[in-house]
Amino acid sequence: MRAYSLIAPAKINLHLEILGDRPDGYHELAMVMQSISLSDRVEVRANATERLQVHCNHTQVPQDSTNLAYRAAELMTIEFPEAFQRYGGVKISLDKQIPVAAGLAGGSANAAAVLVGIDLLWKLGLTQSELQELGAKIGSDVPFCLSGGTAIATGRGDKISPLPDLEDIHVVLAKYRNLAVSTAWAYQTYRQQFGHNYPSDTNTLEDRAKRVHSGPLIQAIAQHDAAKIGQLMHNDLEKVVLPAHNLVSELKTALLACNPLGTMMSGSGPTVFALAKSKTHAEAIQAQIKQMLPDPQLDTWTAQFCPQGIQVS
């Protein structure tokens, strides 16, 4: 085959806990991640020339070598120079449905899809863990985006352990179109404000693991208890993003008033999501939030938890 079309789902964070600094300058995390049905379509096609090219239908997404999808292709050319020489360049086309700079890992999902697409195009036969090792070189969220579903993510977010699938849970997402939050800013500000709380004895992984508070949520996931999952969600980055962005804070309060199973900011924001027990429940929350906040800048979506990451379609 000379072309592959892939589905790249967005993620939300059901739990995001910052455990401390890492020697590499990143933060040690304990997260629970979830793929959702809101997804981009990524086409990876053999190019007639040696060139890597990326095209995207969204004006805010770069079409040059800074695009995460381009960076994934570039990494493959460096890691597999013989295959690159044999098969030539690739043309990547991104059909964006996932909002950009939203805390939903849209760029990371695109990069993950390109790794899978090139693996197929160049007949490399890489395993999931080999792909995840490559993905971690591009960004912390890429390894999760590859395998998807419901999973624990530790380390800097790149060490993935699968959890049982959660089906039939629905989600409403809401985001102000003109608002973006830098992930680096969010972590840096958290470190400045709360870094003194990192205990000095958390140098070993074992010590850090003892401090993790996701146990009850993981139990609720094992029991497939959507109501409990909604109540137990947590995101440390809310502590810095909500006070700095009134709109995000007000959005969360408004979503909570719509009687969801629970509501939380995703990743470093600014998207806020609400969990719902059915499609009808999600649509009712969506209608209510639009009525409560009739701002033309507020975008909303409904989606469903999905049990997989990158899929060939």
Q: Tell me the torsion sign for CA atoms 236, 242, 245, 248.
A: positive
Per DSSP, the three-state class of 237 is coil
Among 17, 28, 141, 238, binds ligand ATP (CB under 6 A): 141
Count of C-beta atoms within a 10 Å radius of residue 245: 17
The listed partner (ligand CDM, ligand ATP, none) that binds 69, CB under 5 to 8 Å by sort, is ligand ATP
Segment 151-180, which members bind ligand CDM (CB under 6 A)? 156-157
Burial class, 231, CB count within 10 angstroms (exposed 0-12 / middle 13-18 / buried 19+): middle
Catalytic residue among 11, 91, 175, 252: 11
**Whole-number minimum distance, CB 111 to ligand CDM, in Å?**
9
Q: Are 4 and 269 in contact (CB under 8 A)?
A: no
Annotation marks residue 11 as catalytic: yes
Among 7, 10, 13, 241, binds ligand CDM (CB under 6 A): 13
Annotation marks residue 91 as catalytic: no
Please identify, using beta-carbon distances, which residue of 260 and 267 lies nearer to ligand ATP: 267
Burial class, 41, CB count within 10 angstroms (exposed 0-12 / middle 13-18 / buried 19+): middle
My answer on whether omega of the bond before 270 falls inside 30° of 0, hence cis, is yes
Q: Does 183 bind ligand ATP (CB under 6 A)?
A: yes
Among 3, 83, 100, 124, binds ligand ATP (CB under 6 A): 100
**Whole-number minimum distance, CB 193 to ligand ATP, in Å?**
19
Q: Does 70 bind ligand CDM (CB under 6 A)?
A: no
Q: Which residues pair with 5 in a beta bridge?
A: 43
Catalytic residues: 11, 141
Binding positions for ATP are: 99-109
